Structure 1
Protein backbone atom coordinates (compact mmCIF):
# COMPACT_ATOMS: atom_id res chain seq x y z
CA UNK A 1 0.00 0.00 0.00
CA UNK A 2 2.83 2.39 0.88
CA UNK A 3 4.53 1.68 -2.43
CA UNK A 4 1.30 2.43 -4.32
CA UNK A 5 0.86 5.74 -2.47
CA UNK A 6 4.50 6.66 -3.11
CA UNK A 7 4.06 5.87 -6.79
CA UNK A 8 0.93 8.06 -6.99
CA UNK A 9 2.67 10.98 -5.27
CA UNK A 10 5.73 10.74 -7.50
CA UNK A 11 3.57 10.43 -10.61
CA UNK A 12 1.72 13.61 -9.61
CA UNK A 13 5.05 15.38 -9.13
CA UNK A 14 6.14 14.24 -12.59
CA UNK A 15 3.18 16.07 -14.14
CA UNK A 16 4.30 19.37 -12.59
CA UNK A 17 7.13 21.42 -14.07
CA UNK A 18 9.93 21.20 -11.52
CA UNK A 19 13.34 22.87 -11.25
CA UNK A 20 16.21 20.66 -12.39
CA UNK A 21 17.34 19.91 -8.82
CA UNK A 22 13.85 18.83 -7.73
CA UNK A 23 13.34 16.92 -10.97
CA UNK A 24 16.57 14.99 -10.34
CA UNK A 25 15.50 14.19 -6.77
CA UNK A 26 12.10 12.99 -7.97
CA UNK A 27 13.68 10.84 -10.67
CA UNK A 28 16.08 9.32 -8.14
CA UNK A 29 13.15 8.58 -5.81
CA UNK A 30 11.27 6.87 -8.62
CA UNK A 31 14.34 4.82 -9.43
CA UNK A 32 14.73 3.81 -5.78
CA UNK A 33 11.04 2.80 -5.80
CA UNK A 34 11.76 0.61 -8.86
CA UNK A 35 9.59 2.81 -11.07
CA UNK A 36 12.23 2.64 -13.78
CA UNK A 37 10.03 3.68 -16.70
CA UNK A 38 8.85 6.84 -14.96
CA UNK A 39 12.36 7.57 -13.69
CA UNK A 40 13.75 7.29 -17.23
CA UNK A 41 11.17 9.79 -18.48
CA UNK A 42 12.29 12.32 -15.88
CA UNK A 43 15.96 11.74 -16.65
CA UNK A 44 15.15 12.41 -20.31
CA UNK A 45 13.47 15.67 -19.28
CA UNK A 46 16.56 16.62 -17.30
CA UNK A 47 18.74 16.07 -20.35
CA UNK A 48 16.48 18.42 -22.30
CA UNK A 49 17.45 21.08 -19.76
CA UNK A 50 21.20 20.44 -20.08
CA UNK A 51 23.96 17.93 -20.72
CA UNK A 52 25.09 15.96 -17.66
CA UNK A 53 27.19 12.80 -17.35
CA UNK A 54 25.56 11.77 -14.08
CA UNK A 55 22.07 11.97 -15.59
CA UNK A 56 23.16 9.91 -18.60
CA UNK A 57 24.61 7.37 -16.17
CA UNK A 58 21.39 7.19 -14.14
CA UNK A 59 19.34 6.94 -17.34
CA UNK A 60 21.55 4.07 -18.45
CA UNK A 61 20.95 2.36 -15.10
CA UNK A 62 17.19 2.76 -15.51
CA UNK A 63 17.25 1.22 -18.99
CA UNK A 64 19.49 -1.58 -17.76
CA UNK A 65 16.96 -2.39 -15.05
CA UNK A 66 14.27 -2.48 -17.74
CA UNK A 67 16.44 -4.92 -19.72
CA UNK A 68 16.79 -2.43 -22.57
CA UNK A 69 20.47 -3.14 -23.09
CA UNK A 70 20.83 -1.06 -26.26
CA UNK A 71 19.59 2.14 -24.60
CA UNK A 72 21.56 1.36 -21.47
CA UNK A 73 24.78 1.11 -23.50
CA UNK A 74 23.88 4.23 -25.50
CA UNK A 75 23.55 6.32 -22.35
CA UNK A 76 26.58 4.78 -20.63
CA UNK A 77 28.59 5.67 -23.75
CA UNK A 78 27.31 9.24 -23.61
CA UNK A 79 28.19 9.43 -19.93
CA UNK A 80 31.66 8.00 -20.59
CA UNK A 81 32.29 10.61 -23.29
CA UNK A 82 31.70 13.32 -20.72
CA UNK A 83 33.42 11.66 -17.74
CA UNK A 84 35.91 9.19 -19.25
CA UNK A 85 37.71 8.64 -15.94
CA UNK A 86 34.62 7.62 -13.96
CA UNK A 87 35.14 4.00 -12.86
CA UNK A 88 31.43 3.41 -12.12
CA UNK A 89 30.44 4.44 -15.64
CA UNK A 90 33.15 2.26 -17.18
CA UNK A 91 32.19 -0.72 -15.02
CA UNK A 92 28.49 -0.51 -15.89
CA UNK A 93 29.29 0.01 -19.57
CA UNK A 94 31.45 -3.12 -19.56
CA UNK A 95 28.73 -5.02 -17.71
CA UNK A 96 26.07 -3.95 -20.22
CA UNK A 97 28.31 -4.86 -23.16
CA UNK A 98 28.70 -8.35 -21.73
CA UNK A 99 24.94 -8.81 -22.24
CA UNK A 100 25.07 -8.15 -25.99
CA UNK A 101 24.92 -10.91 -28.59
CA UNK A 102 27.70 -9.65 -30.85
CA UNK A 103 31.16 -10.29 -29.40
CA UNK A 104 33.50 -8.24 -31.57
CA UNK A 105 37.21 -8.15 -30.85
CA UNK A 106 39.21 -5.10 -31.89
CA UNK A 107 42.09 -5.77 -34.26
CA UNK A 108 43.57 -2.29 -33.85
CA UNK A 109 44.29 -1.88 -30.15
CA UNK A 110 47.90 -2.90 -29.58
CA UNK A 111 49.07 -2.73 -25.98
CA UNK A 112 50.68 0.69 -26.36
CA UNK A 113 47.51 2.11 -28.00
CA UNK A 114 45.30 0.62 -25.30
CA UNK A 115 47.57 2.01 -22.58
CA UNK A 116 47.61 5.46 -24.18
CA UNK A 117 43.82 5.60 -24.48
CA UNK A 118 43.40 4.42 -20.90
CA UNK A 119 45.76 7.13 -19.67
CA UNK A 120 44.07 9.77 -21.84
CA UNK A 121 40.68 8.81 -20.41
CA UNK A 122 41.87 9.17 -16.83
CA UNK A 123 40.56 12.76 -16.86
CA UNK A 124 38.08 14.75 -18.91
CA UNK A 125 38.85 17.90 -20.91
CA UNK A 126 38.30 20.32 -18.02
CA UNK A 127 40.42 18.27 -15.63
CA UNK A 128 43.32 18.07 -18.09
CA UNK A 129 42.97 21.83 -18.54
CA UNK A 130 43.19 22.43 -14.80
CA UNK A 131 46.28 20.22 -14.60
CA UNK A 132 47.85 22.29 -17.39
CA UNK A 133 47.17 25.56 -15.54
CA UNK A 134 48.44 24.20 -12.22
CA UNK A 135 51.63 22.79 -13.75
CA UNK A 136 52.25 26.06 -15.62
CA UNK A 137 52.02 28.00 -12.33
CA UNK A 138 54.48 25.57 -10.73
CA UNK A 139 56.86 26.01 -13.67
CA UNK A 140 56.78 29.79 -13.14
CA UNK A 141 57.51 29.32 -9.44
CA UNK A 142 60.44 27.08 -10.36
CA UNK A 143 61.78 29.73 -12.75
CA UNK A 144 61.47 32.43 -10.11
CA UNK A 145 63.43 30.24 -7.70
CA UNK A 146 66.09 29.64 -10.36
CA UNK A 147 66.58 33.31 -11.22
CA UNK A 148 66.16 34.99 -7.84
CA UNK A 149 67.35 32.55 -5.18
CA UNK A 150 71.08 32.70 -4.46
CA UNK A 151 71.48 29.25 -2.97
CA UNK A 152 72.74 26.92 -5.71
CA UNK A 153 70.95 23.77 -4.52
CA UNK A 154 67.57 25.55 -4.52
CA UNK A 155 68.28 27.04 -7.95
CA UNK A 156 68.93 23.54 -9.31
CA UNK A 157 65.71 22.24 -7.78
CA UNK A 158 63.81 25.24 -9.13
CA UNK A 159 65.19 24.67 -12.62
CA UNK A 160 64.27 20.97 -12.50
CA UNK A 161 60.74 21.77 -11.35
CA UNK A 162 60.37 24.42 -14.07
CA UNK A 163 61.42 22.00 -16.83
CA UNK A 164 59.29 19.11 -15.54
CA UNK A 165 56.19 21.26 -15.00
CA UNK A 166 56.55 22.97 -18.37
CA UNK A 167 56.68 19.54 -20.01
CA UNK A 168 53.58 18.49 -18.04
CA UNK A 169 51.85 21.70 -19.17
CA UNK A 170 52.45 20.82 -22.82
CA UNK A 171 51.32 17.20 -22.36
CA UNK A 172 48.20 18.22 -20.43
CA UNK A 173 47.21 20.73 -23.11
CA UNK A 174 47.65 18.08 -25.80
CA UNK A 175 45.54 15.61 -23.81
CA UNK A 176 42.88 18.25 -23.19
CA UNK A 177 42.73 18.86 -26.95
CA UNK A 178 42.52 15.13 -27.71
CA UNK A 179 39.79 14.69 -25.11
CA UNK A 180 37.87 17.57 -26.65
CA UNK A 181 38.15 15.99 -30.10
CA UNK A 182 36.99 12.67 -28.66
CA UNK A 183 34.02 14.36 -26.99
CA UNK A 184 33.02 16.13 -30.21
CA UNK A 185 33.43 12.98 -32.30
CA UNK A 186 29.98 12.16 -33.67
CA UNK A 187 30.96 9.23 -35.86
CA UNK A 188 29.93 6.43 -33.49
CA UNK A 189 26.50 4.94 -32.96
CA UNK A 190 24.76 2.10 -31.15
CA UNK A 191 22.66 -0.49 -32.98
CA UNK A 192 19.15 -0.22 -31.51
CA UNK A 193 17.53 -3.22 -33.19
CA UNK A 194 18.63 -6.29 -35.11
CA UNK A 195 19.92 -5.10 -38.45
CA UNK A 196 21.03 -6.84 -41.65
CA UNK A 197 24.27 -5.38 -42.95
CA UNK A 198 24.41 -5.31 -46.73
CA UNK A 199 27.11 -4.98 -49.35
CA UNK A 200 25.37 -2.00 -50.98
CA UNK A 201 23.05 0.75 -49.66
CA UNK A 202 19.86 -0.90 -50.89
CA UNK A 203 17.42 -3.60 -49.78
CA UNK A 204 18.52 -5.60 -52.82
CA UNK A 205 22.11 -5.66 -51.57
CA UNK A 206 23.64 -8.93 -50.41
CA UNK A 207 23.39 -9.53 -46.67
CA UNK A 208 26.97 -10.02 -45.47
CA UNK A 209 26.30 -10.24 -41.72
CA UNK A 210 23.83 -9.15 -39.04
CA UNK A 211 24.21 -6.97 -35.97
CA UNK A 212 22.15 -7.00 -32.80
CA UNK A 213 21.08 -4.51 -30.16
CA UNK A 214 23.84 -2.76 -28.25
CA UNK A 215 26.69 -3.16 -30.73
CA UNK A 216 28.86 -0.08 -31.24
CA UNK A 217 29.69 0.92 -34.81
CA UNK A 218 31.73 3.65 -36.46
CA UNK A 219 30.10 5.56 -39.30
CA UNK A 220 32.41 6.05 -42.26
CA UNK A 221 29.90 7.29 -44.86
CA UNK A 222 26.52 8.93 -44.26
CA UNK A 223 26.05 10.57 -47.64
CA UNK A 224 23.43 8.07 -48.83
CA UNK A 225 19.80 8.74 -47.97
CA UNK A 226 18.48 6.38 -45.27
CA UNK A 227 21.69 4.33 -45.33
CA UNK A 228 25.05 4.60 -43.58
CA UNK A 229 28.26 2.72 -44.16
CA UNK A 230 29.66 1.37 -40.91
CA UNK A 231 32.86 -0.25 -39.70
CA UNK A 232 33.20 -2.57 -36.73
CA UNK A 233 36.11 -2.75 -34.30
CA UNK A 234 37.35 -5.89 -36.08
CA UNK A 235 37.50 -4.07 -39.43
CA UNK A 236 34.34 -5.44 -41.06
CA UNK A 237 32.36 -2.91 -43.11
CA UNK A 238 28.92 -2.76 -44.67
CA UNK A 239 25.78 -0.70 -45.13
CA UNK A 240 22.93 -0.58 -42.64
CA UNK A 241 19.62 1.33 -42.46
CA UNK A 242 19.99 4.59 -40.58
CA UNK A 243 16.81 3.90 -38.62
CA UNK A 244 18.43 0.90 -36.94
CA UNK A 245 20.97 2.99 -35.02
CA UNK A 246 21.22 5.98 -32.73
CA UNK A 247 24.18 8.33 -32.56
CA UNK A 248 26.20 8.46 -29.37
Structure 2
Protein backbone atom coordinates (compact mmCIF):
# COMPACT_ATOMS: atom_id res chain seq x y z
CA UNK A 1 0.00 0.00 0.00
CA UNK A 2 2.85 2.37 0.85
CA UNK A 3 4.39 1.76 -2.57
CA UNK A 4 1.11 2.60 -4.31
CA UNK A 5 0.81 5.84 -2.33
CA UNK A 6 4.42 6.74 -3.15
CA UNK A 7 3.81 6.17 -6.86
CA UNK A 8 0.64 8.30 -6.76
CA UNK A 9 2.48 11.11 -4.96
CA UNK A 10 5.31 10.91 -7.49
CA UNK A 11 2.87 11.11 -10.41
CA UNK A 12 1.13 14.14 -8.92
CA UNK A 13 4.52 15.77 -8.33
CA UNK A 14 5.54 15.21 -11.95
CA UNK A 15 2.25 16.63 -13.21
CA UNK A 16 2.59 19.69 -10.94
CA UNK A 17 6.22 20.18 -12.06
CA UNK A 18 5.22 19.95 -15.73
CA UNK A 19 2.43 22.48 -15.21
CA UNK A 20 4.84 24.86 -13.47
CA UNK A 21 7.31 24.63 -16.35
CA UNK A 22 4.53 25.21 -18.90
CA UNK A 23 3.35 28.21 -16.89
CA UNK A 24 6.86 29.70 -16.88
CA UNK A 25 7.26 29.03 -20.60
CA UNK A 26 3.96 30.80 -21.32
CA UNK A 27 5.05 33.71 -19.11
CA UNK A 28 8.30 34.00 -21.04
CA UNK A 29 6.39 33.94 -24.34
CA UNK A 30 4.17 36.78 -23.09
CA UNK A 31 7.18 38.92 -22.23
CA UNK A 32 8.70 38.14 -25.64
CA UNK A 33 5.52 39.22 -27.46
CA UNK A 34 5.59 42.44 -25.44
CA UNK A 35 9.20 42.91 -26.65
CA UNK A 36 10.42 42.78 -23.05
CA UNK A 37 13.33 40.55 -24.02
CA UNK A 38 15.28 41.02 -20.79
CA UNK A 39 12.46 39.63 -18.64
CA UNK A 40 11.64 36.96 -21.22
CA UNK A 41 15.18 35.59 -21.29
CA UNK A 42 15.26 35.67 -17.48
CA UNK A 43 12.20 33.40 -17.36
CA UNK A 44 13.58 31.06 -20.01
CA UNK A 45 16.91 30.80 -18.21
CA UNK A 46 15.07 29.97 -14.99
CA UNK A 47 13.51 27.03 -16.83
CA UNK A 48 16.93 25.94 -18.10
CA UNK A 49 18.32 26.05 -14.55
CA UNK A 50 15.77 23.38 -13.62
CA UNK A 51 17.56 20.95 -15.94
CA UNK A 52 15.15 21.23 -18.86
CA UNK A 53 16.70 20.50 -22.26
CA UNK A 54 14.56 21.51 -25.22
CA UNK A 55 15.34 22.89 -28.66
CA UNK A 56 12.26 25.14 -28.37
CA UNK A 57 13.55 26.54 -25.07
CA UNK A 58 17.06 27.14 -26.42
CA UNK A 59 15.58 28.64 -29.60
CA UNK A 60 13.53 31.14 -27.59
CA UNK A 61 16.54 32.07 -25.44
CA UNK A 62 18.61 32.62 -28.57
CA UNK A 63 15.90 34.79 -30.11
CA UNK A 64 15.86 37.00 -27.01
CA UNK A 65 19.62 37.49 -27.11
CA UNK A 66 19.47 38.15 -30.86
CA UNK A 67 16.87 40.86 -30.32
CA UNK A 68 19.13 42.32 -27.60
CA UNK A 69 22.08 42.33 -30.08
CA UNK A 70 24.08 39.94 -27.90
CA UNK A 71 25.79 37.91 -30.59
CA UNK A 72 27.75 35.35 -28.54
CA UNK A 73 24.87 34.04 -26.37
CA UNK A 74 22.51 34.16 -29.36
CA UNK A 75 24.78 31.90 -31.44
CA UNK A 76 25.52 29.75 -28.39
CA UNK A 77 21.84 28.94 -27.81
CA UNK A 78 21.00 28.50 -31.50
CA UNK A 79 23.82 25.92 -31.59
CA UNK A 80 22.42 24.27 -28.44
CA UNK A 81 18.98 24.07 -30.07
CA UNK A 82 20.50 22.38 -33.12
CA UNK A 83 22.48 19.99 -30.94
CA UNK A 84 19.23 18.80 -29.34
CA UNK A 85 17.36 18.78 -32.66
CA UNK A 86 19.52 19.11 -35.80
CA UNK A 87 16.32 19.20 -37.90
CA UNK A 88 15.15 22.49 -36.34
CA UNK A 89 15.01 24.56 -39.53
CA UNK A 90 14.08 27.80 -37.74
CA UNK A 91 17.12 27.58 -35.47
CA UNK A 92 19.38 26.86 -38.45
CA UNK A 93 17.97 29.83 -40.39
CA UNK A 94 18.22 32.24 -37.45
CA UNK A 95 21.75 31.03 -36.72
CA UNK A 96 22.79 32.21 -40.18
CA UNK A 97 21.36 35.66 -39.44
CA UNK A 98 23.16 35.76 -36.07
CA UNK A 99 26.47 34.83 -37.71
CA UNK A 100 26.25 38.01 -39.80
CA UNK A 101 26.73 39.95 -36.57
CA UNK A 102 30.17 38.42 -35.99
CA UNK A 103 33.42 40.14 -36.94
CA UNK A 104 35.57 37.15 -37.89
CA UNK A 105 35.29 35.95 -41.50
CA UNK A 106 36.66 32.40 -41.62
CA UNK A 107 36.53 30.24 -44.74
CA UNK A 108 35.76 26.57 -44.18
CA UNK A 109 38.23 23.96 -45.35
CA UNK A 110 37.03 21.93 -48.36
CA UNK A 111 35.11 18.85 -47.22
CA UNK A 112 35.40 15.35 -48.60
CA UNK A 113 32.38 13.49 -49.96
CA UNK A 114 32.08 11.48 -46.73
CA UNK A 115 32.21 14.65 -44.61
CA UNK A 116 29.50 16.26 -46.74
CA UNK A 117 27.37 13.11 -46.54
CA UNK A 118 27.79 12.97 -42.77
CA UNK A 119 26.78 16.62 -42.37
CA UNK A 120 23.80 16.43 -44.73
CA UNK A 121 22.45 12.99 -43.72
CA UNK A 122 23.94 11.37 -40.61
CA UNK A 123 24.15 14.54 -38.50
CA UNK A 124 20.62 15.61 -39.41
CA UNK A 125 19.26 13.37 -36.64
CA UNK A 126 20.62 12.91 -33.08
CA UNK A 127 22.43 9.62 -32.45
CA UNK A 128 19.71 8.48 -30.02
CA UNK A 129 17.10 8.88 -32.79
CA UNK A 130 19.17 6.68 -35.10
CA UNK A 131 19.44 4.17 -32.23
CA UNK A 132 15.64 4.12 -31.81
CA UNK A 133 15.20 3.51 -35.55
CA UNK A 134 17.71 0.65 -35.27
CA UNK A 135 15.76 -0.95 -32.41
CA UNK A 136 12.50 -0.68 -34.36
CA UNK A 137 14.20 -2.20 -37.41
CA UNK A 138 15.50 -5.12 -35.31
CA UNK A 139 12.02 -5.91 -33.97
CA UNK A 140 10.58 -5.61 -37.47
CA UNK A 141 13.25 -7.93 -38.88
CA UNK A 142 12.54 -10.53 -36.18
CA UNK A 143 8.78 -10.32 -36.79
CA UNK A 144 9.16 -10.65 -40.56
CA UNK A 145 11.47 -13.64 -40.15
CA UNK A 146 8.91 -15.38 -37.91
CA UNK A 147 6.19 -14.69 -40.47
CA UNK A 148 8.45 -16.11 -43.16
CA UNK A 149 9.23 -19.20 -41.07
CA UNK A 150 5.62 -20.03 -40.22
CA UNK A 151 4.03 -19.01 -43.53
CA UNK A 152 2.86 -21.82 -45.78
CA UNK A 153 2.35 -19.80 -48.95
CA UNK A 154 5.41 -19.59 -51.22
CA UNK A 155 4.47 -16.07 -52.31
CA UNK A 156 4.17 -14.90 -48.71
CA UNK A 157 7.44 -16.63 -47.83
CA UNK A 158 9.19 -14.77 -50.64
CA UNK A 159 7.64 -11.46 -49.56
CA UNK A 160 8.49 -11.89 -45.86
CA UNK A 161 12.01 -13.06 -46.68
CA UNK A 162 12.75 -10.06 -48.89
CA UNK A 163 11.27 -7.57 -46.43
CA UNK A 164 13.15 -9.14 -43.52
CA UNK A 165 16.41 -8.74 -45.47
CA UNK A 166 15.48 -5.10 -46.10
CA UNK A 167 14.81 -4.60 -42.37
CA UNK A 168 18.20 -6.14 -41.51
CA UNK A 169 19.85 -3.79 -44.02
CA UNK A 170 18.10 -0.79 -42.44
CA UNK A 171 19.18 -2.07 -39.01
CA UNK A 172 22.82 -2.24 -40.08
CA UNK A 173 22.75 1.20 -41.68
CA UNK A 174 21.08 2.92 -38.72
CA UNK A 175 23.43 1.26 -36.21
CA UNK A 176 26.37 2.55 -38.25
CA UNK A 177 24.80 6.03 -38.43
CA UNK A 178 24.16 6.03 -34.66
CA UNK A 179 27.77 5.09 -33.82
CA UNK A 180 29.17 7.52 -36.40
CA UNK A 181 26.99 10.34 -35.07
CA UNK A 182 27.93 9.57 -31.46
CA UNK A 183 31.66 9.52 -32.26
CA UNK A 184 31.36 12.81 -34.14
CA UNK A 185 29.54 14.49 -31.25
CA UNK A 186 32.09 13.21 -28.73
CA UNK A 187 35.03 14.21 -30.92
CA UNK A 188 33.76 17.67 -31.89
CA UNK A 189 33.53 19.64 -28.66
CA UNK A 190 31.96 22.83 -29.95
CA UNK A 191 32.46 26.14 -28.14
CA UNK A 192 31.58 29.78 -28.77
CA UNK A 193 33.88 32.73 -28.10
CA UNK A 194 32.28 35.04 -25.51
CA UNK A 195 35.04 37.61 -25.06
CA UNK A 196 34.73 40.71 -27.30
CA UNK A 197 38.30 40.08 -28.48
CA UNK A 198 40.76 37.37 -27.46
CA UNK A 199 44.32 36.54 -28.48
CA UNK A 200 45.06 32.99 -29.61
CA UNK A 201 48.49 31.86 -28.47
CA UNK A 202 50.91 29.26 -29.84
CA UNK A 203 51.26 27.66 -26.39
CA UNK A 204 49.24 27.48 -23.15
CA UNK A 205 51.04 30.40 -21.50
CA UNK A 206 50.54 34.16 -21.22
CA UNK A 207 54.19 34.61 -22.20
CA UNK A 208 53.78 32.71 -25.48
CA UNK A 209 53.39 34.37 -28.88
CA UNK A 210 50.06 35.51 -30.30
CA UNK A 211 49.31 33.85 -33.64
CA UNK A 212 45.88 35.33 -34.39
CA UNK A 213 42.86 36.81 -32.64
CA UNK A 214 39.16 36.00 -32.52
CA UNK A 215 36.03 37.91 -31.57
CA UNK A 216 32.76 37.09 -29.83
CA UNK A 217 30.37 34.73 -31.53
CA UNK A 218 32.99 32.72 -33.42
CA UNK A 219 32.52 28.96 -33.33
CA UNK A 220 35.53 26.78 -32.49
CA UNK A 221 36.30 23.12 -31.79
CA UNK A 222 38.03 22.27 -28.51
CA UNK A 223 40.89 19.83 -29.08
CA UNK A 224 42.62 19.70 -25.71
CA UNK A 225 42.57 21.17 -22.20
CA UNK A 226 45.54 22.09 -20.01
CA UNK A 227 45.00 23.90 -16.71
CA UNK A 228 43.17 27.14 -17.56
CA UNK A 229 43.86 26.84 -21.29
CA UNK A 230 42.10 25.11 -24.16
CA UNK A 231 43.53 24.19 -27.52
CA UNK A 232 41.07 25.11 -30.27
CA UNK A 233 40.67 24.74 -34.01
CA UNK A 234 38.71 27.10 -36.25
CA UNK A 235 36.95 26.34 -39.54
CA UNK A 236 39.97 27.12 -41.75
CA UNK A 237 42.12 24.61 -39.86
CA UNK A 238 44.16 27.02 -37.72
CA UNK A 239 44.85 25.91 -34.15
CA UNK A 240 46.01 27.65 -31.01
CA UNK A 241 45.55 28.05 -27.27
CA UNK A 242 42.93 30.23 -25.61
CA UNK A 243 42.04 31.10 -22.02
CA UNK A 244 39.18 28.95 -20.75
CA UNK A 245 37.32 32.03 -19.51
CA UNK A 246 37.08 33.43 -23.06
CA UNK A 247 34.77 30.75 -24.44
CA UNK A 248 31.85 28.54 -23.49
CA UNK A 249 31.38 24.94 -24.56
CA UNK A 250 28.02 23.84 -25.88
User: Could you say which TM-score interval applies, normalised by the shorter chain?
Assistant: 0.7 to 0.9
Task: Work out whether residues 220 and 234 of structure 2, in 8 Å CA contact, stay in contact via their aligned partners in 1.
Answer: yes
Task: Work out whether residues 188 and 221 of structure 2, in 8 Å CA contact, stay in contact via their aligned partners in 1.
Answer: no
Structure 1 counterpart of 2:23: 22
Cα pair distance change 1:115/1:58, threshold 3 Å: same
Q: Distance in 2 between matches of 1:221 and 1:122?
A: 26
Q: Distance in 2 between matches of 1:236 and 1:183?
A: 20
Q: CA RMSD in A?
A: 2.0
Structure 2 counterpart of 1:57: 59
**Which shows bigger deviation, 114-123 or 184-193?**
184-193
Cα pair distance change 1:186/1:119, threshold 3 Å: closer
Q: Distance in 1 between matches of 2:71 and 2:242?
A: 20
Structure 1: unaligned runs, 5 residues or longer: 1-17
Structure 2 counterpart of 1:176: 178
Structure 2 counterpart of 1:221: 224
**Which shows bigger deviation, 235-244 or 127-136?**
127-136
| Structure-to-structure mapping, 1:7-46, within 5 angstroms | 19-46=20-47
Cα pair distance change 1:96/1:204, threshold 3 Å: same
Q: Distance in 2 between matches of 1:116 and 1:184?
A: 15
Q: So what's the TM-score if we normalise by structure 1?
A: 0.85
| 3-state secondary structure, aligned to 2:124 | coil
Task: Work out whether residues 196 and 207 of structure 1, in 8 Å CA contact, stay in contact via their aligned partners in 2.
Answer: yes
Give the superposition deviation at 1:141: 2.9
Match for residue 137 of structure 1 among 132, 136, 139: 139
Structure 2 counterpart of 1:190: 192
**Which shows bigger deviation, 124-133 or 47-56?**
124-133
| Structure-to-structure mapping, 1:1-248, within 5 angstroms | 19-50=20-51, 51-107=53-109, 109-183=111-185, 187-193=189-195, 194-223=197-226, 225-248=227-250
| 3-state secondary structure, aligned to 1:49 | coil
Q: Which runs of 4+ in 1 moved over 6 A?
A: none
Structure 2: unaligned runs, 5 residues or longer: 1-18
Task: Work out whether residues 27 and 39 of structure 1, in 8 Å CA contact, stay in contact via their aligned partners in 2.
Answer: yes
* Residue correspondences, number: 230
